[in-house]
């Protein structure tokens, strides 16, 4: 009888251990994992873009979003134009072809509202805003790689660009950063779900395309709780099993 009881207890213990490991494993993918979102090579999802200006890709409508996915993350990119008061109206996010190769695309830019295609003014320049929306996923951005209006990596370090977590409205503010000379902007980590990149000049070496960036998913509190609970169960089961073996 005692052997049967011990066998049943061990079976229950194994079941709890399996449940704990499952809970921990379900939480693990959402923990910090850095993904390089490279808009020079990524293709937007079908149905979120149209061909425009012969060789480019554009969001289907003004203010519409192009969808890009990589490494378990999805971002919606859309464009806006700021008025003299700072309020935003519909611009068009676009993906500009690179010339020369190797990358098929230089990155993301913005056409101003009402603008007809013009390759010289599709970078993120004065009054242009590129919105990056990660939906419900909290992420941290770092190492934003820009290319200048000539598709190069030569920036005026006296020039500025802007970044904000809130939508552009009349009177809204944003943080300004100086351009890195080589276009790799190693700014302090900024965490949120939606980001707005501001162009502040039309100068060749002070306007830009977003080529790529490193993005780290931040686990939600519930995810951390699930993992902690799972690991707690595994620890409890381990102690229980040891006690049974010793008994």
Q: How far is CA 117 from CA 42, 51, 151, 211, in A?
A: 22, 11, 17, 20
pLDDT (tens digit per residue) in 32-62:
689 999 999 999 999 999 998 788 899 998 8
For the chain, give me the number of helices (H) and strands (E)?
2, 16
Which residue has better confidence, 220 or 95?
A: 95
Instruction: Give the pLDDT mean for 184-212.
Output: 96
pLDDT at 11: 58
Q: Is 236 helix (H, G, I), strand (E, B) or coil?
A: helix
CA-wise closest residue to 220 among 91, 32, 88: 32
pLDDT (tens digit per residue) in 80-121:
988 766 777 778 899 999 876 667 899 999 987 655 444 447
State how far Cα 71 lies from the chain centre.
10
- Two tokens, residue 59: 């969001």
Q: In whole angstroms, what is the distance from residue 47 CA to residue 66 CA? A: 9
Q: Which residue has the tokens 């519909």?
A: 90
Q: Is the pLDDT of residue 202 over 80?
A: yes
Contact criterion met (CB below 8 Å) for 238 and 28? no
Q: How far is CA 233 from CA 11, 23, 48, 91, 247, in A?
A: 15, 9, 44, 52, 21
111: which strand partners? 92
**pTM for this structure?**
0.77
Instruction: Give the pLDDT mean for 66-91.
Output: 87
Q: In whole angstroms, what is the distance from residue 169 CA to residue 33 CA? A: 33
């Amino acid at each position: 009888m005692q052997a049967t009881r011990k066998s049943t207890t061990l079976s229950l213990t194994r079941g709890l251990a399996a449940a704990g490991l499952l809970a921990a494993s379900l939480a693990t993918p959402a923990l910090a994992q850095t993904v390089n979102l490279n808009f020079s090579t990524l293709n937007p999802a079908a149905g979120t873009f149209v061909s425009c200006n012969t060789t480019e890709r554009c969001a289907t409508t003004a203010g519409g979003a192009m969808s890009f996915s990589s490494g378990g993350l999805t971002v919606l990119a859309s464009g806006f134009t700021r008025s003299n008061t700072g309020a935003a109206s519909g611009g068009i996010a676009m993906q500009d072809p690179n010339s020369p190769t190797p990358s098929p695309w230089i990155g993301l830019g913005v056409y101003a509202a009402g603008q007809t295609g013009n390759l010289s003014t599709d970078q993120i320049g004065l009054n242009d805003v590129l919105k990056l929306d990660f939906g419900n996923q909290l992420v941290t951005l770092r190492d934003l790689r820009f290319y200048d209006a000539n598709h190069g990596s030569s920036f005026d370090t006296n020039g500025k660009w802007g970044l904000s977590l809130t939508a552009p409205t009349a009177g809204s503010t944003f943080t300004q950063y100086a351009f890195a000379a080589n276009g790799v902007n190693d700014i302090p980590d900024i965490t949120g779900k939606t980001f707005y990149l501001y162009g502040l000049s039309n100068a060749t070496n002070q306007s830009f395309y977003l080529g790529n960036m490193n993005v780290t998913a931040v686990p939600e509190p519930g995810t951390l709780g699930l993992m902690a609970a799972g690991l707690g169960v595994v620890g409890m089961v381990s102690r229980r099993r040891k006690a049974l073996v010793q008994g």
